[in-house]
């Protein structure tokens, strides 16, 4: 039985249809990521699931628990990190955690939470003196103070530098290790790909597709982009382009000076042929790469839109 | 559970309040500075404690009588000589015209029966200082007359204040209580800006995601603000009594009722402002306008009776008028709680409070917390 089941969610603000039709089910212990561009309806969906917004229609069930009937119980069982970190600036890290701890019947020891979000050293620092990443970690710490089974993280890494982002990834993976279910929204494809067990792509208030990152990528066409840069100038590149165009597996070629972009359905065969040609003619190859397909390509393929961070 | 929540919310809010420098400035230092300024500017001339008159003495033909008078005058602590040595009549008259001195005393030019001259600036003829100098001089002369006649005074005046407390109000007392009322009212009016800030920053929403009881959170905030009000009362009272010699006649029960009533009413008004202010700036703007209007029209600094007659209707509807009156009842008039006027004032104030609260609650209900982003 899924720990969270959402079906047919709808929500409008006046004439704006923020969420048109969203359904999914989250299994215990997984990292479930909702991804989509700004305004796709991610936060609205999350806020409905968190009980902050009543949906216009649709069902939300945490096992047998439902908002309205079991509000207090659900609040005890979930942990939420909202998009705006929303902290009391003038309290210290430890004071903030202790304050929130008094709201719940079951709590995780403050020291353990500090340890998990790596804020033990900053425990006596005022919140307003924390860096963006530290604030975000505290917000995640608050979401786990009641030792919840399900944790919601709404864009936990937006606006953070790469190092701070990686720290948050570590925390999310630790949560999975101890058996928590995490529902994550993000802006960053790379993040979704690295962390998620399953990804739900949302656009214009609808679920576009839902699967594991690997399965989503596999569903794309098998065409790959190969890039070559030749050391011996344009003439060499021109000759190589000529050869490539004669191969069956190549579907498209773009040449820019001494650089080639070759799209192929069988990258290994294509490369074998091209390297045979360059070796024969004594051309040297400066750079070579095969671009991996990513969730970004999945997004583009499914929505027909350019991905914007 | 509820108590645990309440006490942790309370201690968190105490910390937040006293760690905020703005709170210290606007709620502690600012009222004290304002009160001290008003006391210095308007309080000085109306009190007898600080009375000092500057004089000069002309002694053109020194003689035994003039020497004796000179000594007596020097012995009067309320008079300060601009120049220890006697001056010429021309110099003295010049000083009087320039208002360098309050009065010029011309000593008699011969021994025995003679006149003593008192020269004052015509602009100041009716002033309190002039009257006082004349009175002092009169006493000195009378003392000398007795001495010359070798007689002991048979009668003396023993002044004793037997007036009722309410007639015995100095400006210090009036201003002190006015300032306390103003400080508490402003604390309430401005204090609810936190609501706007917390709503804007998503903190109310954040608390809403937990099983935290919002009513307890509101209550603990209210109690913290009441504590601040008590700090203000104590501090301003100490400054007024120690620094400026204000006299208090406290009726604790009356004071308590007026204080709690007022604090709640002005908190409710702040709550109302918070219900329709989208930003902190908007809140502060509205609170400032309301506070400014009330400040000068509610008998805080000057009695309402000093306003032009057509304007006197305004204070009659303002809650601050009744709050300040109530605080005065409790702190300087020692009115007991059976006074009808006191309860009428509290009642009128309560109408403001209840109306504000009901309206605010309606406004809050009509737009859910989450819809304000």
* Cβ-defined contact of A99 to B370 (cutoff 8 Å): no
> A188 with A247, same domain?
no
- Answer yes or no: do A126 and A239 share one domain: no
In a domain, A18, yes or no: yes
Tell me the sheet residues that pair with A126: A92
Instruction: Read off the DSSP letter of residue B29.
Output: I
- Which domain-ending residue is among A180, A198, A218? A218
Over residues A196-253, the pLDDT tens digits come to 999 999 988 999 999 998 888 887 777 788 888 888 888 888 888 888 888 888 888 8
Query: Could you tell me the residue range of the domain that residue A82 belongs to?
Result: 2-218
CA pair distance B195, B6, nearest whole angstrom: 18
Q: Do residues B36 and B243 lie in contact, with contact meaning Cβ atoms separated by under 8 Å?
A: yes
B133 near B55, Cβ under 8 Å?
A: yes
**Model pTM score:** 0.73
Q: Residue A89: which CATH number?
A: 3.40.50.300
Residues A128 and A227 in one domain: no
Q: Cα B294–B299–B304 angle (5° rounding)?
A: 115
Looking from the CA of A127 toward its CB, the CA atoms found within 13 Å total 22
Instruction: Compute how many other C-beta atoms are within 10 angstroms of the C-beta atom of residue A234.
Output: 14
Q: Is B370 on the interface with A (CB under 8 A)?
A: yes
Q: Are A92 and A200 part of one and the same domain? A: yes
Q: How far apart are CA A154 and CA A79, in angstroms?
A: 11
Helix residue ranges per DSSP H, chain A: 42-49, 71-77, 93-101, 110-116, 132-143, 162-177, 189-195, 213-218, 233-245, 267-281, 295-303
Residues A90, B15: C-beta atoms closer than 8 Å: yes
Q: Would you say B17 and B93 are in contact if contact means Cβ atoms under 8 Å apart?
A: no
- Torsion angle of C-alpha atoms B339, B345, B351, B352, degrees rounded to 10: -150
* Mean pLDDT of each 10-residue bin along chain B, 373 residues long: 89 91 86 87 57 80 80 77 80 83 83 78 74 80 77 66 55 88 90 86 89 88 90 91 87 93 93 90 92 89 86 90 92 87 93 93 70 39
Tokens at B90, concatenated: 């021309």
Across the range A160-165, mean pLDDT stands at 88
A40 and A155 co-located in one domain: yes
* Chain A CB contacts of B206 below 8 Å: 80, 82, 86-87
Is the pLDDT at A143 greater than 90? The verdict is yes
Cα separation, A129 vs A153, in Å, equals 23
Task: Check if the beta carbon of residue A99 is closer than 8 Å to that of residue A47.
Answer: no
Helices (H), chain B: 2-19, 21-23, 30-38, 64-74, 89-98, 128-149, 171-191, 193-200, 203-208, 214-238, 244, 252-276, 280-297, 313-317, 319-331, 340-366
Domain-embedded: residue A195: yes
In Å, how far is A299's CA from the nearest CA of chain B? 29
Q: Is residue A300 part of a domain?
A: no
Is the CB of B201 inside 8 Å of chain A's CB atoms? Answer: yes
Alpha-carbon span A49 to A36, nearest angstrom: 17
Question: How many separate domains does chain A show?
Answer: 2
Residues of A in contact with B221 (CB under 8 A): none
Please report where in the chains the tokens 């606006």 appear, as a residue.
Answer: A159
In a domain, residue A308? The reply is: no
What DSSP state is assigned to residue A159? Answer: T
Residue B348 confidence (pLDDT): 93
Say if residue A154 is in the same domain as residue A232: no
Distance of alpha carbon A20 from alpha carbon A41, whole angstroms: 9
- Alpha-carbon gap, residue B184 to B233, rounded angstroms: 8
Which residue on chain B is closest to A53 by alpha carbon? B370
User: What phi, psi does B318 have (nearest 5°)?
Assistant: -80, 135
Of A202, A218, A234, which closes a domain?
Answer: A218
CA distance B201 to chain A (A): 6
CA A83 to chain CA centroid, Å, is 14
Q: Phi/psi zone of residue B145: left (φ > 0), alpha (ψ -120 to 50 degrees), beta?
A: alpha
| Distance between B220 CA and the closest CA of chain A, angstroms | 13
Assess whether A172 and A98 both reside in one domain. yes
CB A22 within 8 A of CB A186: no
Cα angle, residue B370 at apex, residues B364 and B373 outer, rounded to 5°: 100
Q: Is residue A273 part of a domain?
A: yes
Could you count the other beta carbons within 10 Å of the beta carbon of residue B113?
Answer: 9
Question: In this predicted model, what pLDDT tens digit does every residue of A25-80 receive, in sequence order?
Answer: 999 999 999 998 888 889 899 999 999 889 999 999 999 999 989 999 999 999 99
- Among chain A residues, CA nearest to B212: A103
| Tens-digit pLDDT profile for residues A250-285 | 888 888 888 888 988 888 888 898 888 888 888 888
* A248 and A205 co-located in one domain: no
Angstrom distances, CA of residue B82 to CA of B42, B70, B85, B103, B106: 25, 14, 9, 10, 14
- Looking at A164, A187, A218, the residue that finishes a domain is A218
Whether residue A298 is contained in a domain is answered as no
The answer to whether A251 and A223 are in contact (CB under 8 A) is yes
B202 touches chain A (CB under 8 A): yes
- Exposure string of A268-302, with b = 16+ CB inside 10 Å and e = fewer, is eebbebbeebbeeeebebeeeeeeebbbbbbbebe
Distance from CA of B283 to the nearest CA of A (A): 20
Cβ–Cβ < 8 Å for B175, B239: no
The full length of chain A comes to: 309
Same domain, residue pair A45 and A172: yes
User: CA distances (Å), A13 to each of A8, A16, A40, A208, in order?
Assistant: 17, 5, 14, 22
The pLDDT value recorded for residue B21 is 86
Q: For residue A85, give both structure tokens.
A: 């970190």
**How far, CA to CA in Å, does B28 sit from each of A246, B22, B180?**
86, 9, 11
- Assess B211–A contact: CB distance below 8 Å, yes or no: yes
Of B326, B324, B168, B183, which Cα lies nearest the Cα of B247?
A: B168
CA angle A8, A10, A15 (to 5 degrees): 155
Three-class DSSP category at B118: strand
Residues A193 and A61 in one domain: yes
Across the interface, which of A47, A75, A95 has its CB nearest the CB of B211?
A75
Q: Do B4 and A80 touch (CB under 8 A)?
A: no
At A26, list the tokens: 């989250």
Edge-to-edge strand ranges of the sheet holding B117-119: B79-81, B53-58, B103-106, B117-119
CB spacing of B209 vs A75 below 8 angstroms? yes
Q: Count other C-beta atoms under 10 Å from residue B138's C-beta.
A: 12
pLDDT of residue A24 exceeding 90, the answer is yes
For residue A136, the model assigns a pLDDT of 92
A268: in domain: yes
**Inter-chain touch A86–B206, beta carbons under 8 Å:** yes
What's the pLDDT score for residue B46? Answer: 45
The answer, for B97 touching chain A at a CB cutoff of 8 Å, is no
SS3 A251: strand
**Does A191 share its domain with A254?**
no
- Which CATH number do you get for residue A248? 3.30.70.100
Give residues with Cβ within 8 angstroms of B289, minimum separation 6.
none
Considering the domain architecture, whether residues A132 and A82 belong to the same structural domain is answered as yes
Strand A224-230 to A181-186 pairing: unpaired
Q: Token pair for residue B168?
A: 């015995």
Pairing of strands A31-35, A198-203: parallel
Asked if B202's CB is within 8 angstroms of A82's CB, the reply is yes
Q: Which residue has the higher pLDDT, A308 or A142?
A: A142
The DSSP output letter for A127 is G
Packing angle of the helix pair B319-331, B280-297 (nearest 10 deg): 60
Among residues B99, B105, B96, which one has the least CA distance to residue B76?
Answer: B105
> Would A302 be classed as within a structural domain?
no
Q: Which residues of B touch A102 (CB under 8 A)?
A: 4-5, 8-9
């Amino acid at each position: 039985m899924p720990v969270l089941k959402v079906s047919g969610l709808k929500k409008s603000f006046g004439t704006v249809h923020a969420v048109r039709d969203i359904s999914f089910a989250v299994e215990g212990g997984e990292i479930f990521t909702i991804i989509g561009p700004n305004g796709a309806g991610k936060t609205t969906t999350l806020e409905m699931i968190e009980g902050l917004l009543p949906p216009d229609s649709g069902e939300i069930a945490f096992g047998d628990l439902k908002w309205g009937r079991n509000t207090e119980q659900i609040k005890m069982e979930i942990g939420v990190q909202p998009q705006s970190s929303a902290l009391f600036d003038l309290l210290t890290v430890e004071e903030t955690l202790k304050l929130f701890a008094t709201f719940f019947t079951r709590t995780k020891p403050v020291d353990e939470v500090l340890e998990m979000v790596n804020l033990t050293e900053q425990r006596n620092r005022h919140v307003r003196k924390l860096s963006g990443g530290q604030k975000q970690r505290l917000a995640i710490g608050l979401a786990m103070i009641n030792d919840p089974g399900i944790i919601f993280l709404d864009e936990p890494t937006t606006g953070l530098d790469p190092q701070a982002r990686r720290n948050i990834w570590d925390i999310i993976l630790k949560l999975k290790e101890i058996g928590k279910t995490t529902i994550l929204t993000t802006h960053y494809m790379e993040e979704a790909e690295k962390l998620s067990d399953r990804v739900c792509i949302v656009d214009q208030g609808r679920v576009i597709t839902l699967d594991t990152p690997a399965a989503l990528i596999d569903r794309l066409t098998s065409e790959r982009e190969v890039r070559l840069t030749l050391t011996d100038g344009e003439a060499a590149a021109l000759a190589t382009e000529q050869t490539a165009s004669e191969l069956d597996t190549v579907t498209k070629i773009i040449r820019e000076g001494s650089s080639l972009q070759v799209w192929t359905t069988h990258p290994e065969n294509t490369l074998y042929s091209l390297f045979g040609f360059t070796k024969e003619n004594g051309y040297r190859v400066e750079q070579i790469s095969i671009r991996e397909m990513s969730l970004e390509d999945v997004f583009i393929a499914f929505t027909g839109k350019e991905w914007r961070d | 559970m509820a108590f645990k929540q309440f006490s942790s919310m309370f201690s968190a809010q105490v910390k937040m309040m006293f760690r905020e420098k703005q709170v210290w400035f606007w709620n502690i230092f600012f009222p004290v500075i304002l009160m001290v300024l008003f006391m210095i500017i308007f309080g000085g001339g109306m009190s007898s404690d600080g009375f000092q008159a500057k004089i000069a003495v002309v002694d053109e033909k020194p003689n035994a009588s003039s020497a004796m008078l000179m000594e007596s005058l020097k012995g009067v602590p309320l008079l300060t000589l601009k120049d220890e040595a006697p001056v010429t009549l021309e110099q003295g008259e010049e000083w009087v015209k320039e208002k360098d001195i309050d009065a010029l005393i011309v000593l008699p030019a011969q021994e025995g029966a003679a006149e003593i001259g008192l020269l004052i600036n015509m602009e100041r003829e009716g002033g309190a200082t002039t009257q006082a100098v004349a009175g002092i001089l009169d006493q000195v002369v009378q003392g000398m007359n007795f001495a010359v006649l070798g007689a002991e005074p048979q009668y003396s005046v023993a002044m004793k204040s037997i007036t009722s407390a309410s007639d015995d109000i100095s400006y210090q007392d009036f201003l002190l209580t006015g300032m306390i009322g103003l400080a508490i009212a402003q604390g309430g009016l401005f204090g609810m800006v936190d609501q706007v800030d917390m709503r804007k920053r998503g903190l109310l929403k954040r608390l809403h995601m937990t099983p935290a009881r919002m009513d307890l959170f509101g209550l603990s905030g209210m109690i913290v603000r009441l504590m601040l009000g008590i700090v203000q009362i104590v501090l301003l009272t100490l400054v007024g009594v120690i620094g400026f010699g204000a006299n208090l006649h406290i009726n604790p029960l009356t004071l308590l009722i007026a204080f709690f009533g007022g604090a709640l009413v002005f908190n409710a008004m702040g709550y109302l402002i918070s219900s329709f202010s989208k930003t902190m700036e908007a809140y502060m703007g509205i609170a400032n306008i309301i506070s400014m209007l009330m400040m000068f029209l509610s008998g805080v600094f000057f009695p309402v009776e000093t306003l032009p007659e057509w304007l006197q209707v305004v204070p009659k509807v303002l809650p601050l008028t009744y709050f300040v009156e109530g605080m005065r009842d409790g702190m300087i008039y020692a009115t007991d709680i059976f006074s009808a006027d006191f309860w009428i004032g509290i009642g009128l104030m309560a109408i403001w409070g209840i109306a504000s609260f009901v309206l605010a609650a309606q406004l809050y209900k009509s737009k859910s917390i989450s819809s304000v982003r």
